[in-house]
Amino acid sequence: MSETSSANHLNHLRAIEALYSGHHGWLYATLKRKLGNAMDAADLAQDTFTRILASHITVIDQPRAYLSCVAKGILINWYQRKALERAYLDALANVPTHEAPSPEAHFVVLETLHEIDAMLDTLAPQVKRAFLLSQINGLKYDDIAEQLGVSLITVKRYMKQAFIQCLMLVE
Amino acid sequence: MLGLRKEPPLAPQVLEEAAEWLMRLSERELSEHERAEWERWKVSSPEHDRAWSRAQLLQSKLGGLPPSLAMSALDRPNSPERRAALGKLAILLAVMPVGWGSWKLAQSQQWSADYRTDVGQRRELTLADGSRITLNTETAIDVVFDDRQRLIHLREGEILVQTAVDTATLPRPFLISTRQGRMQALGTRFTVRELSPRTHLAVLDGAVSVILADNRQTPPLIVNAGQRTDFSSQTFGSLTPTDRDIGSWTQGMLMADKMRLADFVAELTRYRRGFLRCDPSIADLRISGAFPISDTDRTLNMLVHTYPVLASSHLRGYWVTLSPA
């Protein structure tokens, strides 16, 4: 079996090599046209290939359709990340210096924020807010209920939904 | 990332219990008695242990953030497009009860299907309201649009739905019915597959609310983006994260990432006339690739060239058997 799996790995690398040499230029040009920015396009094209490298794909028919599929998922994620970074930088400007993370810590904080953002993304806004008020701001459920104008039972329902979502997705 | 998880999903029951412990812990100090109960819960099964290590990972991620910065970044206002979609969601929820009667009607009458695809065919429709439906192989749907609802009855097969904002003066709910239940789109993109006796639902954007056909006492289940479930006419299955590749059939692709050959063959059979069998000795061989579904002969060729598999074909390709090379 290990012989097969190493053969698969080799096929995987060959497939990606062919994909990269044949279509990286096309993907980059497409993304550049879409985003109007060469640097972002290069990053996204790179992310697309990184994700494909992390898969086990060995056989690819219609390589451009496949690349579009993968790149689309990454693009959606990327727009969201841009919005998060903008909000983070805006907030940073208003935070006293001693409360701001050290420059080295920014990367880790942003990375974690992005992960949490992605986990909470599909929740209804009220559910997400209740969860953040509790887990980030440390508010009690009673206070959250008052602030959101809903019952305590509702807050608990929100919290449970959000925790289940996070437990499903955290890694 | 969704879909890249290697360990199997946790059972809904375990997730719920872990969530309840997290809630108790975040609300107040546990009593001595509760603490003992909590410790017992954690060690009482390997699944609990696995759930709790995820809970700890979550706690450490949440706990390491500077509160004011994290709050501003995570609780940022939604983009205008998003707000528009959510406004629509509220309207749709308000008119929820409409349409049940017509759904029963659609079920009881044996109408000829409005749109149909044959084996291996795929078809994309734009409906009167601008919503888009993609029909996968061997699929039949009826479309019933009136002044109270937009209803698609999925008789068999699989569809991808991308709803549009209703331009009617009184926005109408967008409903999909199968033999097993009725789904209401809450501003959204999702796939539905009727695979009797169950319906499979996977949500890509927005959310979908589901009511069971023969069990109206059970409250509607809301399935959010990134989640999937299945249901019979009586009960819901568990909620699990969607695969990243869901809906790739709309691009004419069958995407496999370490898929068992037996499962791969079962999937491929949907797009092919005749019999396709795989020898049990290679059923567990793992297949990875992006294969064309419009040309299953080509897919089989690709398979044979990449994996230690032989394909023998009889009856002019009507009967194909895969065996070890």
What integer pLDDT is reported at residue A44 of this predicted model? 87
What integer pLDDT is reported at residue A2 of this predicted model? 58
What integer pLDDT is reported at residue B91 of this predicted model? 36
What integer pLDDT is reported at residue B82 of this predicted model? 46
* Distances, alpha carbon B204 to alpha carbons A68, B33, B162, B208, B323, in Å: 17, 43, 10, 10, 36
CB pair distance less than 8 Å for A56 and B258: yes
CB pair distance less than 8 Å for A117 and B74: yes
> Mutate which of B6, B52, B62, B246 to test chain A, going by most A C-beta atoms within 10 A?
B62
The CATH architecture to which B252-324 belongs is: 3-Layer(bab) Sandwich (3.55)
| Sequence-distant (≥ 6) Cβ neighbours of residue B152 within 8 angstroms | B133, B141, B142, B143, B144, B159, B161, B175, B176, B177
The CATH T-level fold of domain B81-241 is: Jelly Rolls (2.60.120)
What integer pLDDT is reported at residue A118 of this predicted model? 84
Q: How far apart are CA A113 and CA A121, in angstroms?
A: 12
Residue B197, SS3 per DSSP? coil
Portions of chain B given CATH number 2.60.120.1440: 81-241
Q: Which comes out higher in pLDDT, residue A81 or B323? A: B323
The single-letter code of the amino acid at A137 is: N
Note whether A100 contacts B: Cβ–Cβ < 8 A: yes
Length of chain B: 325
Portions of chain B given CATH number 3.55.50.30: 252-324
Q: Average the pLDDT over A67-83 and give the result.
A: 79
The DSSP annotation for B230-299 comes to EE-SS-B---EEPPTTTTGGGGTEEEEEEEEHHHHHHHHHTTSSSEEEE-GGGTT-EEEEEEESS-HHHH
Residue found by looking up tokens 């695979």 in the block: B195
- The shortest C-alpha distance from B104 to chain A (Å) reads 30
Note whether A99 contacts B: Cβ–Cβ < 8 A: yes
Q: Average the pLDDT over A127-132 and give the result.
A: 93
What integer pLDDT is reported at residue B81 of this predicted model? 46
Q: Which comes out higher in pLDDT, residue B107 or A82? A: A82
- Supply the pTM of this predicted model: 0.59
CB pair distance less than 8 Å for B251 and A8: no
In which element (H, E) is residue B124 found? Answer: strand B123-126
- The shortest C-alpha distance from A25 to chain B (Å) reads 20
A60 bridge partner residues: B290
Q: Minimum mean pLDDT among A72-86, A99-113, B109-123: which range?
A: B109-123
The answer to whether A142 touches A152, Cβ cutoff 8 Å, is: yes
Tell whether the torsion through CA atoms of B167, B173, B177 and B183 is positive or negative: positive
Nearest to B27 among A108, A117, A140 (CB): A140
The CATH number of domain A2-101, selected from 3.90.550, 1.10.530, 3.90.930, 1.10.1740: 1.10.1740
What integer pLDDT is reported at residue A135 of this predicted model? 94
Q: How far apart are CA A105 and CA A99, in angstroms?
A: 12
Q: Checking DSSP bridges between strand B150-162 and strand B140-145, what pairing results, if any?
A: antiparallel
Q: How far apart are CA A49 and CA B255, in angstroms?
A: 16
CA of B50: which chain A residue's CA is closest?
A: A167
In which element (H, E) is residue A41 found? Answer: helix A38-54
- pLDDT tens for each residue of chain B, 325 residues long: 333 445 677 877 888 899 999 999 888 888 999 999 999 999 999 999 999 999 999 999 998 888 888 888 888 876 554 444 434 433 333 333 333 333 333 443 334 468 888 888 888 888 878 888 999 999 999 888 877 888 899 999 999 998 887 776 677 888 999 999 999 988 788 999 999 899 999 988 888 989 998 887 888 888 888 888 999 999 988 888 887 777 788 878 888 888 899 999 999 999 988 888 899 999 999 988 888 888 888 899 888 888 889 888 877 777 888 998 8
Q: What's the whole-number average pLDDT of chain A?
A: 85
Residue found by looking up tokens 């953030």 in the block: B65
What was the ipTM of the complex prediction?
0.75
Q: How far apart are CA A36 and CA A19, in angstroms?
A: 24
What integer pLDDT is reported at residue B169 of this predicted model? 66
CB pair distance less than 8 Å for A55 and B288: yes
Nearest to A134 among B26, B68, B306 (CB): B26
Note whether A68 contacts B: Cβ–Cβ < 8 A: yes
Q: Which comes out higher in pLDDT, residue A127 or A97? A: A127
Question: Chain B residues with CB inside 8 Å of A138's CB?
Answer: 67
What integer pLDDT is reported at residue B292 of this predicted model? 87
B160 bridge partner residues: B134, B191
Please identify among residues 2-41 of chain A the ones whose CB lies closer than 8 Å to any CB of chain B.
4, 8, 11-12, 15
> Mutate which of B61, B229, B271 to test chain A, going by most A C-beta atoms within 10 A?
B61
Note whether A62 contacts B: Cβ–Cβ < 8 A: yes
> Domain ranges in chain A?
2-101, 122-171
What integer pLDDT is reported at residue B253 of this predicted model? 85
What integer pLDDT is reported at residue B94 of this predicted model? 33
Residue B195, SS3 per DSSP? strand
How does residue A74 score in pLDDT terms, banded at 50, 70 and 90?
confident
- Give the closest residue to B135 by CA, choosing from B152, B126, B122, B144: B122
Question: Chain A residues with CB inside 8 Å of B252's CB?
Answer: 62, 65
Note whether A78 contacts B: Cβ–Cβ < 8 A: no
CB pair distance less than 8 Å for B2 and A169: yes
In this structure, the number of other CB atoms found within 10 A of the CB of residue B89 comes to 17
> Mutate which of A59, A76, A143 to test chain B, going by most B C-beta atoms within 10 A?
A59
Residue B204, SS3 per DSSP? strand
% of chain A with per-residue pLDDT over 90: 25
Q: How far apart are CA B77 and CA B82, in angstroms?
A: 10
